[in-house]
A and B are shown apart, each in its own frame.
Chain A
Amino acid sequence: MVSNLNKQLKDFKERFIEGILMVSGTVTTVAVLLIIIFLFKEGVSLFGKSPLENNISILVNEKNPLTAITAAQIKDISDQKITNWKQIGGADDSIILVTINELSTYYTDDQLGDNLQFVPDKVNELVGKTPGILGLFSTKNLGDKYTHKYLSIKDITIGSFLFGKQWFPTATPAAQMGILPLILGTLWVSFGAILFALPIGIAAAIYLAEIAGKRMRNTIKPIIELLSGIPSVVFGFFGLVVIVPIIQKLFHLDVGETGLAGSIVLAIMALPTIITVSEDAMRTTPRLMKEASLALGATQWQTIVRVIIPYSFSGISAAAILGIGRAIGETMAVIFVTGSANVIPHTLLQPMHTIPAVIAAELGEVSQGGRHYKALFALGCVLFIMTFIVNLIVQYIFSKRKHNQV
């Protein structure tokens, strides 16, 4: 009777624990899915929006054959990189950019009225008599007087977002939402990091797995693993104080905050992952395989190069890609040292910006729900997709490796 009760109690206990495990698993999954849905919902809502500030209209003369213009073109016109309509597919006529600020060069204050009450009339008149005009005015300054042609602006699309070459999300009147410089910056810094980290990491892994004595290994390995416990902000600070000045001196640069500095800091951060994972992979090389090689008269080094590295190749590549994954997503270490320049990088010695750094730096300054806010979420989506692809590759390699071992 008692034992029966005990058994029931035990059963109940096991059920209860199972329940808790199931609930925590479900909650985690749901939370992750909700975060991803939230990210994409906010991010995707950027597309199809106008990059133009609210209530701004683009005005041109009737003779202008164009019907639409892009945000990048407006930026180039105001930077005077584009000065003729011909350059953007219009007639051969120089572009005259007029906003409310320039109006005073065409009309006296009297003509515009004390309270600017005549502005709508004058804008209408000016557009009518100037064939090359490009007017940017808010509806408030147009009233119901305007009778000439409007240009529509091309909405932000996935294409213009991914391949746009300029990231000035707060530019007026047209925000520049092109993230190509950020994607390239992220890739440059990450691949630079791998370039440094991989040879050093593999060398260290070989040393630990095959050459170092037991005592040496037991001393070094915990130290390397300790590296991964250092907060990334400390790495960033270290990079700023130590690595940036060295790079500046070494390459005689104006600024030491460069992609290279970011790469080096990330390389140091990625090293523990690369060393640990590839060392584990090398250690899975069966002893029999090593002995077979040695028994044939191969030296230890030949055995490493010809048997151990090929055997653990998939593990080593997984280590490399995990390292890249860590580098791509890293924020704080990079934000200090890469120089935060939104330009398309051509060498590692240029300042650049990475996606996570941009999000961290700018999210605090945006108005919630605005275009810029949504653009940062869309950036988050891009970063998510990048790291997701990296993870998929790692999983693929690991699954192949398991398959090979059977």
Chain B
Amino acid sequence: MPKIETKNINLYYGDFHALKGITMSMEPKTVTALIGPSGCGKSTYLRIFNRMNDLIDNVKLSGFVLVDGQDIYEKGTKVDELRKNVGMVFQKPNPFPKSIFENVAYGMKVNGIKDTKYITQKVEQSLQQAALWDEVKDKLKKSAFELSGGQQQRLCIARALAVEPSILLMDEPASALDPLSTSKIEELIYELKKEYTIVIVTHNMQQAGRVSDKTAFFYLGELIEFDDTKIVFTNPKNTKTQNYITGRFG
């Protein structure tokens, strides 16, 4: 069974038709890259999976979104439960103005976990998974803002991992980072793939090529091509895809 499945998704911002009949599915423990020029709807599509689009006024959605076979837009769906299962990392690092420890512990605390021993353990584990533990283990009480941009982004990943999601959504997670931090994040994605289903939006073709198993190319709200990353990058079926990947437009 696919981990995530969408069937004929149409999404409108007011009168603007942002997603046009998107049907695709993602297998468990794979990395799917969503690529395409700005405004093509890839971020909007990503935000369907944890219902982040709910926060925006005037959004209309039709079609089915299934996570683990469950329709997440069905009436009675607990959105906070869904978001626990579907973690998200944002474009810009957005730690809370709290200590490093409190940032990672936040998700557990809002989900009602009070066992401090478990929380301490989980914070360490998550920071290790995010390859940040060695850099911050001596300053867990310090403000998260004292970290560098790349470290902050890995902190945000650790924060998302701490609530034990099975899906990780990443909205251009490295676009605000320097090349060194970017490569660290990419290594991390490679590691995380072993346990999580990852969907990543990226503008960076090389990045998509390096980290993903499958690639979906979006253009003007339509899914133009969706296939194995190797095929999309070496032998695209659609000329638009080819033009975009070779940098002829974008």
Asked if A299 is at the interface of the complex by the 8 Å CB criterion, the answer is: yes
* Docked-complex contact A288 and B90, CB < 8 angstroms: yes
Query: In chain A, what residue has the closest Cβ to B108?
Result: A296
Complex alpha-carbon distance, A298 and B50, angstroms: 12
Residue in B84, B90, B107, B163 whose beta carbon sits within 8 Å of that of A291 in the complex: B90
Q: Which of B37-45, B92-100, B206-214, B239-247 contacts A (4 or more CB under 8 A)?
A: B92-100
CB neighbours (8 Å) of B107 from chain A are 296-298
Complex alpha-carbon distance, A307 and B160, angstroms: 16
* Docked-complex contact A306 and B106, CB < 8 angstroms: yes
Query: In chain A, what residue has the closest Cβ to B83?
Result: A297
* Docked-complex contact B94 and A289, CB < 8 angstroms: yes
* Docked-complex contact A296 and B87, CB < 8 angstroms: yes
* Docked-complex contact A298 and B96, CB < 8 angstroms: no
Complex alpha-carbon distance, A281 and B248, angstroms: 45
* Docked-complex contact B97 and A296, CB < 8 angstroms: no
* Docked-complex contact B83 and A291, CB < 8 angstroms: no
Residue in A214, A290, A297 whose beta carbon sits within 8 Å of that of B110 in the complex: A297
* Docked-complex contact B110 and A298, CB < 8 angstroms: yes
* Docked-complex contact A295 and B110, CB < 8 angstroms: no
Interface string of B180-213 (1 = CB under 8 A from A): 0000000000000000000000000000000000
Asked if B74 is at the interface of the complex by the 8 Å CB criterion, the answer is: no
Q: Which of A306-350 contact B (CB under 8 A)?
A: 306-307, 310-311
Residue in A214, A291, A310 whose beta carbon sits within 8 Å of that of B97 in the complex: A310
CB neighbours (8 Å) of A306 from chain B are 106, 109-110
Residue in A214, A292, A404 whose beta carbon sits within 8 Å of that of B94 in the complex: A292
Query: In chain B, what residue has the closest Cβ to A303?
Result: B110
Given A306-B106, A306-B110: A294 in contact with B52 (beta carbons within 8 A)? yes
Asked if A286 is at the interface of the complex by the 8 Å CB criterion, the answer is: yes
Complex alpha-carbon distance, A103 and B230, angstroms: 119
Asked if B238 is at the interface of the complex by the 8 Å CB criterion, the answer is: no
Complex alpha-carbon distance, A284 and B1, angstroms: 43
Chain B nearest CB from A290 CB (Å) reads: 8
Asked if A395 is at the interface of the complex by the 8 Å CB criterion, the answer is: no
Asked if B154 is at the interface of the complex by the 8 Å CB criterion, the answer is: no
Residue in A286, A296, A307, A404 whose beta carbon sits within 8 Å of that of B83 in the complex: A296
Query: In chain A, what residue has the closest Cβ to B145?
Result: A404
Given A291-B55, A292-B96, A294-B55: A299 in contact with B90 (beta carbons within 8 A)? no
Asked if A302 is at the interface of the complex by the 8 Å CB criterion, the answer is: yes
Asked if A84 is at the interface of the complex by the 8 Å CB criterion, the answer is: no
Chain B nearest CB from A355 CB (Å) reads: 39
CB neighbours (8 Å) of B106 from chain A are 293, 296, 298, 306
Asked if B80 is at the interface of the complex by the 8 Å CB criterion, the answer is: yes
CB neighbours (8 Å) of A302 from chain B are 110
CB neighbours (8 Å) of A294 from chain B are 52, 55, 83
Interface string of B64-89 (1 = CB under 8 A from A): 00000000000000001101100110
Residue in B50, B84, B96 whose beta carbon sits within 8 Å of that of A307 in the complex: B96
Chain B nearest CB from A37 CB (Å) reads: 44
Given A214-B57, A292-B96, A292-B156: A298 in contact with B90 (beta carbons within 8 A)? no
Chain B nearest CB from A283 CB (Å) reads: 14
Complex alpha-carbon distance, A25 and B197, angstroms: 63
CB neighbours (8 Å) of B110 from chain A are 293, 296-299, 302, 306
CB neighbours (8 Å) of B57 from chain A are 214
Asked if B175 is at the interface of the complex by the 8 Å CB criterion, the answer is: no
Instruction: Return 7 A-B CB contacts under 8 Å, by A number.
Output: A289-B96, A295-B83, A297-B107, A297-B110, A297-B111, A299-B80, A306-B106
A297-B110, A298-B80, A306-B106 are known contacts; what are 4 more A-B pairs with Cβ within 8 Å?
A292-B156, A292-B159, A294-B83, A296-B87
Residues of A within 8 A of B (CB): 214, 286, 288-299, 302, 306-307, 310-311, 404
Closest 3 interchain pairs by CB?
A297-B84, A296-B107, A298-B110
